[in-house]
């Protein structure tokens, strides 16, 4: 079996930006998006900052552009987990023609249509008009763009407010402009991916070529010593953050004389790369000190087994991820 003696950092412990309390956040914002009627202005995911470009310029060669790094790819995939988990109905998907914006859209919600105004700098009236278009009833628009577009057209957003992998959610006004409804920080994506949705009445309308997920009832993990450790593990694992997993290892796992914390962290890094975020689909077995969960991964269905230590309260003796046929890939 593949031993994942890895990490934890509760979603509640993730850093959040200083955001106006009148804005919708996290689950409240997801609940609003489920009804449709909003535009999600998404800044592309994290990139290789060693490459610099002039705003508005579009290098012909991919190698001359600033592209997504590994963290950015992971962030964009995590966005996709959130869109599917909360079944957010998505209609129009537009992106700047840069590779980093198009790929962020593809990982998060599906293939976009290139929109040159989303790369234009300085801003143009066409750009403002594009941002202010009302979504088709019952859906949300996703516009993957750059910080200068968001900062120019969203009231209340200042330079530096929206980082890479983050978003501002707006709705059209009667004056032909938009107003800010909420923001999604990187920490929000991570926390939302780890939480079970409390509202899921809308259908997530995926673009052509992507099957919409079937409606489902969130799986309730048993409130047992092993169940609580399993929930903490999944929350930590789904952040994809090495620091969060190191904290989990040091706080919630029994020490292993044969494996150092660094070795356990290396196992986590490889496992997250191979399997991506975990989504709990069912409960296979549960006793007080042991629980086995069915989990969906990008490699297919697996089983996550958590055994609580009988000697050290609040710590796991082992955490394993195994294929449903008894092996792992």
Closest C-alpha to 193, from 28, 82, 312: 82
Q: Can you give the pLDDT at residue 56?
A: 64
Looking at every residue in the chain, the average pLDDT score rounds to 81
What confidence category does residue 209 fall into, taking pLDDT thresholds of 50, 70 and 90?
very low
Segment 124-173, tens digit of pLDDT? 899 999 999 999 999 999 999 999 999 999 998 999 999 999 999 999 99
Rounded distance, CA 193 to CA 189, Å? Answer: 6
Segment 233-270, tens digit of pLDDT? 988 888 888 888 888 888 899 888 877 888 888 888 88
Residue 220: is its pLDDT beyond 80? yes
Task: Tokens 């399993």: give the residue.
Answer: 230
Task: Tokens 């976009």: give the residue.
Answer: 112
2: tokens are 């593949």
Alpha helices by DSSP H, the chain: 26-33, 70-85, 99-108, 125-132, 147-153, 186-194, 225-239, 242-252, 261-275
- 11-17 average pLDDT score: 31
Task: Tokens 């920490």: give the residue.
Answer: 187
Domains and CATH numbers, the chain: 2-9+220-323 (3.10.450.50), 17-184 (3.40.50.1240)
| 63 vs 233, higher pLDDT | 233
Q: Can you give the pLDDT at residue 323?
A: 66
Closest C-alpha to 143, from 114, 184, 120, 123: 114
Least trusted range by pLDDT, from 33-42, 78-87, 199-208: 199-208
| 4 vs 274, higher pLDDT | 274
DSSP letters along 164-200, please? Answer: TT-EEEEEE-TTSSEEEEEEE-HHHHHHHHHSPPS--
Dihedral Cα 263, 297, 45, 20, nearest 10 deg = -100
Q: Can you give the pLDDT at residue 109?
A: 93
Segment 281-309, tens digit of pLDDT? 889 888 889 999 988 887 788 889 999 99
Rounded distance, CA 160 to CA 170, Å? Answer: 18
Q: Can you give the pLDDT at residue 196?
A: 53
| 6 vs 187, higher pLDDT | 187
């Amino acid at each position: 079996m593949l031993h994942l003696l890895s990490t934890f950092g509760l979603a509640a412990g993730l850093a959040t930006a200083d955001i106006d309390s009148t804005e919708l956040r996290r689950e409240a914002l997801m609940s609003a998006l489920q009804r449709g009627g909003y535009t999600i202005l998404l800044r592309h995911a994290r990139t290789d900052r060693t490459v610099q470009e002039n705003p508005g310029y579009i290098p012909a060669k991919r190698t001359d552009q600033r592209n997504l790094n590994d963290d950015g790819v992971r962030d964009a995939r995590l966005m996709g987990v959130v869109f599917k988990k909360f079944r957010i109905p998505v209609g129009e998907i537009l992106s700047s023609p840069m590779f980093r914006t198009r790929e962020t859209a593809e990982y998060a919600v599906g293939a976009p249509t290139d929109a040159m105004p989303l790369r234009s700098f300085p801003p143009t009236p066409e750009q403002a008009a594009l941002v202010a278009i009302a979504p088709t009833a019952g859906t949300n628009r996703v516009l993957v763009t750059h910080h200068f577009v968001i900062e120019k057209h969203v009231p209340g957003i200042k330079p530096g407010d929206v980082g890479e992998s983050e978003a501002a959610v707006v709705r059209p006004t009667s004056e032909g402009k938009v107003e800010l409804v909420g923001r999604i920080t990187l920490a929000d994506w991570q926390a939302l991916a780890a939480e079970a949705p409390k509202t899921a009445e809308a259908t997530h309308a995926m673009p052509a070529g992507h099957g919409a997920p079937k409606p489902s009832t969130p799986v309730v993990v048993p409130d047992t010593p092993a169940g609580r450790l399993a929930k903490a593990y999944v929350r930590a694992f789904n952040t994809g953050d090495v620091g969060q997993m190191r904290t989990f290892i040091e706080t919630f796992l029994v020490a292993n004389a044969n494996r150092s914390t660094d070795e356990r962290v290396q196992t986590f890094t490889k496992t997250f790369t191979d399997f991506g975020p975990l989504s709990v689909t069912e409960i296979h077995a549960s006793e007080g000190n042991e629980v086995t969960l069915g989990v969906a991964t990008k490699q297919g269905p697996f089983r996550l087994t958590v055994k609580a230590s009988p000697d050290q309260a609040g710590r796991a003796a082992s955490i394993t991820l195994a294929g449903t046929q008894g092996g792992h890939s």
